[in-house]
Amino acid sequence: MLATLPMSIAGSSWLLWYLDFDLSVAVAVGLIALAKVAVEIGVIMLVYLNQYRDDYLESAILHGSVTEEGLRQAVNQGALQRLRPIVMTMAANTAGLLPIMYGHGTGSEVMQRIAAPMIGGMISTFVLTLLVLSAVYLVWQKWLLRGEIQT
């Protein structure tokens, strides 16, 4: 789960660098809010990956053949089940923060520094959660499966 944090911070750092924002208390508040969303998305993704893996292993053991291809399909199905909710979360957060980023007026400079890390981090968290987290989970489960078969 903690793997989602460095990727989200990387995305927010890139956007902060691009916008030429310095690290401040407001940026730190944005990073804390981003960390909550990133970990929440990662936890929900892992719950679904575990659920589909368990369902596959249960049915495969009953039929007597646990394969790496079947495990890959189970992980893909679990990731696909989370695709729409993750996209909706990212889109809603980003769409809600974009007016803050482009707003002008009293307090807009502070609010922009809170919104910027969240927007940049949400984009990189989206990529990490859907692609990298699923791939790492599959490699880890294949490694565990090979260990169980050999013993």
What is the block-wise mean pLDDT of the chain (151 residues), using blocks of 10 residues? 83 93 92 91 90 91 84 91 88 91 86 92 87 89 75 39
Domains of the chain: 4-150 (1.20.1640.10)
Using H for helix, E for strand and C for coil, what is the string for the chain? Answer: CCCHHHHHHHHHHHHHHHHCCCCCHHHHHHHHHHHHHHHHHHHHHHHHHHHHHHHHHHHHHHHCCCCHHHHHHHHHHHHHHHHHHHHHHHHHHHHHHHHHHHCCCCCHHHHHHHHHHHHHHHHHHHHHHHHHHHHHHHHHHHHHHHHHHHC
pTM of the model: 0.80
